[in-house]
Chain A
Amino acid sequence: MSEPILQLNDVKTHFPITRGFLVKRHIGTVKAVDGVNLTVRRGEVLGLVGESGCGKSTLARTILQLVPTTGGTVVLNGRNLATSSARELLAARRDLQMVFQDPYASLNPRMTVFATLAEPLLVHRVCAPADVAARVAELMRLVGLAPRFMQKYPHEFSGGQRQRIAIARALALEPKVIVADEPVSALDVSIQAQILNLLAQLTKKMNLTLIFIAHDLSVVKHISDRVAVMYLGKIVELGLAADVIERPRHPYTRALVSAIPTPNPDTERTRQRIVLAGDPPSPINPPAGCAFHPRCAYAQAQCKLAAPPLVDDGPTREVACVRLADLP
C-alpha cells in the first residue's frame, strides 16, 4: 500500500451564528464538520458521499483551507495546513487543488481560457513566461480540448467543456491531490460519462490522489477506491467502494443506498426500500448521542447517550454505530 499523503485528525469546522448589528451576540454554532479523521493514500480515489448539509463540501473547503479550521489538523505531506501561514499555504496549494461543482460559476467570465490556465503558472512561477503558451496548449490537450480555442471565453463553451477547463486549471501545477466537489452533478449524463472517464484516466496517468465528492452513489462507486459516508459533520462509514455500496453496514448508509432508484425495472419495482422519515436534523442543534438516532430504525436508549466513534469492522471497513453487532 502506498504512503499516506493527506491526514485529517479530528478536524472541526464550526461557523458561529451571530445576531445584532453593532454588538454581535453569539447565539449558536453550526458544526458543519465535527471531528473527522481520515487518511488518504497516494494515488487513491476517495469518494465522499452524504446528503446536502452533511458537511462534505465544508470538509473539502477545510482541506484546502478555504475556510478556517476550528480544531484538529490537516496534514499534507507532513505539514499541518491548519496552522500554516498564508505564504506556506500558497506553497502548499501547488500540491493541492480543487475542482468545483458548477463550471458556469467557477470560471471567470472575463478571462479567456489562456488567461485562466496561465494564471496559476505565473503566480507560482513554475514556467518561464515564454513557455506559458506551450504549457497551456499541453494542458488543453490533456483534458481533450483543442488548443485553438485558447483565446475563447468560458461562455463560448458547453458545460462539459467548461468542466474540462476547470480540471485543466487544477492540473496546471501538477498537484498531488485534487479535491473535486460534485464535478459532474451539473452535467447531463452523456457529458458526465466523458468527465468521469477523463478523471479516471488522469488519476491513473498522473498518479493523482483524488477526493471525489458526489451525492450520486453509482458515480462514486464507479470511480472511487474507497468511500466515506458523512452524516451531520461526521463520517459514519468508511470502506472499499464496492463493499460500502453493495453491502452497507451503518443504518444510515443502508437507507441512503436503498433510496437510490436503480435503472432496472424488474428489481426496482419489487425491492424493499427503506424510506427515512423526515429531513436531516439541523447542524445547529444536532441530536444528542448518535446524530442519526431520531431517524434510525435500530435506535435504542444507548444511542442517545454518546456519539459513537468509528470502529473497525473487518480489515477494510470502519463503521460508527454502537449497535453494529446486533444489526441483521
Chain B
Amino acid sequence: MRARAIRDSANGLTRASTPAPLKPTAVPLLNVQDLRTHFHTRNGIYRAVDGVSFSVERGETLGIVGESGSGKSVTCYSIMGLIPQPPGRIVSGTALFDGIDLLNCSPRQARSIRGKRVSMIFQDPMTSLNPFLRVSEQIIEPLLIHENISRPDALERALTMLEAVGINDAAKRIHYYPHEFSGGMRQRVMIAMALITKPELLIADEPTTALDVTVQAQILELIGKMQRELGMAVIFITHDLGVVSGLCDRVQVMYAGRIVETADTRTLFKTPRHPYTRALQRSIPALQSKGAELYTIPGLPPDVSKNIPGCAFAPRCEFATDLCTAANPELVAIDATHAQACLRVQANETLACS
C-alpha cells in the first residue's frame, strides 16, 4: 500500500508525457495533473491555482496545508466542480478519478461521480446546510439522486448513518432543522450527508476550524473511524499543522497556488526542506520553547493577480538569491516520498537558519 503510494507520487512528479501502462490496481484513485484555476476579474487575472499535480491512493489520507489564499480550497473546489464560471476558469489540467477525467468529461458523467463516489464537507456547517429543510431531507438527497431507492429505505439508511456519526436519539433528531443542532452536531450531520453514499474519496475543507478543540477532537476521531470502516481516501485541507500530524499519511504544502513541498507526514515534520515549510514550523508556538521569540516570515503573501517571476516565496525567503526570481522552480523528488520546489535545496546547498 505504502510502496504503491510512493511509486505513484514519484510518477506524478516527473510528469511523464505518456501515461505509464500501469496495472489497474496501481492506478491512483485520483490523479491531478497540472491544474490551473484562474479567476478573471476586473482587476486582473488571479492565478489561484497555478500548476498543481498530485495523486491520492485508495484509503490514503492526504493533508493539504497552506495559509489563506494559497489555493488549497480552490484546488479541491475545482475537482468538485464548485468553481463559479465565470469568473473562474479552469485553464488547464486533468483530474483522473478512477480513469475518468472529472474536469473534461460530460456533465452527466461528472454528476454520477461527484456527490456519490467523491463527496465533500465544508468548514462552516451553519452555512453549508440549508436552514429551511429538515436534516432528514438533506441527508437523503444524495441517495435519492444517485441510487434507485425508495424514500422510506433512504430514511432508514439516513438514520443508521446518523447513529454511526454519533448523534444520540437519532430517530427524533433526524426531523430537526439545522438550527436545532450545535456546531459540532451540525458538522456530524454534514459528515453523515457526505458519507451516506459510501464515497471512495472524501474531501474535507477545514472541517474543524470553526469548532472548539474538544469538539474538534471528537470530529477528527469520527473522520478517522469512518475512514477505517468505509476504506475511503481523504483529502484533508487545513492550516493547522497539529491536525495534520495526527491524521494524515502524506502532506503537501501549498504557497501562492503551487505545491512547494510534499512528503510523508513524519518526514515533513522531521526534515522539512523547503524554506517556506521550515519558516512555518518555526513560527508556531507549539514547536518553540515558551517565551522564545517566534520566527516571523517578513512581508505578505504575494498578490496572485500579478505575474510572479520565479519562486513565489523568494521575496519573503531569507535564503533567496537572484537565481530564485529568475528561474521557475519545479517540484523535484529528493527521495521516493519527498519532493520540494526550492532551487537552492535542489542545488544541494545547505541552508542554515539564522
Contacts and interface: CB of A to CB of B under 8 A. Distances in A.
Contact of B283 (A193, A242, A265, A280): A193
Nearest to A217: B213
Contacts of B285: 193, 196, 218-219, 221-223
A28 interface: no
B77 interface: no
B266 interface: yes
B296 A259 contact: no
A74 B301 CA distance: 43
A256 B212 CA distance: 10
Contacts of B221: 273, 275
A3 B200 CA distance: 62
Given A189-B239, A218-B286, A260 B245 contact: no
Given A192-B283, A268-B245, A263 B269 contact: yes
Interface stretch (B93-101, B130-138, B287-295): B287-295
Contact of A241 (B212, B269, B279, B290): B290
B281 interface: yes
A259 B291 contact: no
A200 interface: yes
B91 interface: no
B212 A268 contact: no
Contacts of B216: 259, 261
Interface residues of B, number: 44
B265 A265 contact: yes
Given A194-B296, A269-B246, A51 B212 contact: yes
B284 A259 contact: no
Nearest to B283: A193
A264 interface: yes
**Which DSSP category, helix, strand, loop or mixed, fits chain A's interface?**
helix
Interface residues of A, number: 40
B90 interface: no
Contact of A52 (B67, B68, B212, B297): B212
B240 A222 contact: no
A214 to B, nearest CB: 10
B351 interface: no
Given A51-B214, A259-B214, A188 B68 contact: yes
Interface in A153-184: 158, 160
- Among B214, B243, B270, the one with the most A-chain Cβ atoms within 10 Å of its Cβ is B214
B170 interface: no
Interface string B282-318: 0111111011011111001100000000000000000
**B-side binding surface: helix, strand, loop or mixed?**
helix
Contacts of A258: 217
A279 to B, nearest CB: 5
B215 interface: yes
Given A259-B217, A262-B245, A268-B246, A189 B269 contact: no
B235 to A, nearest CB: 18
Interface in A191-247: 192-194, 196-197, 200, 215, 217-219, 221-223, 241-242
Nearest to B212: A51
B320 interface: no
B244 interface: yes
Nearest to A267: B245
A263 B182 contact: no
Nearest to B284: A189
B280 interface: yes
Most buried by A among B269, B279, B287, B291: B291
Contact of A263 (B67, B68, B286, B290): B286
A146 interface: no
Interface in B247-267: 265-266
B300 A222 contact: no
Contact of B213 (A194, A259, A269): A259
A259 to B, nearest CB: 4
Interface of B: 67-68, 182, 184-185, 212-218, 220-221, 239-246, 265-266, 269-270, 279-281, 283-288, 290-291, 293-297, 300-301
The 8 closest A-B pairs by CB, nearest first: A261-B242, A222-B285, A218-B286, A193-B283, A259-B217, A193-B294, A268-B246, A188-B67
Given A196-B285, A262-B242, 10 more contacts: A193-B284, A197-B296, A261-B240, A263-B245, A263-B269, A263-B287, A265-B270, A268-B246, A273-B221, A276-B218
24 contacts: A188-B239, A188-B301, A189-B67, A190-B279, A193-B283, A193-B285, A193-B297, A196-B294, A197-B296, A200-B291, A242-B290, A260-B213, A261-B217, A263-B244, A263-B245, A263-B287, A264-B287, A266-B266, A275-B217, A276-B214, A276-B217, A279-B182, A279-B184, A279-B215
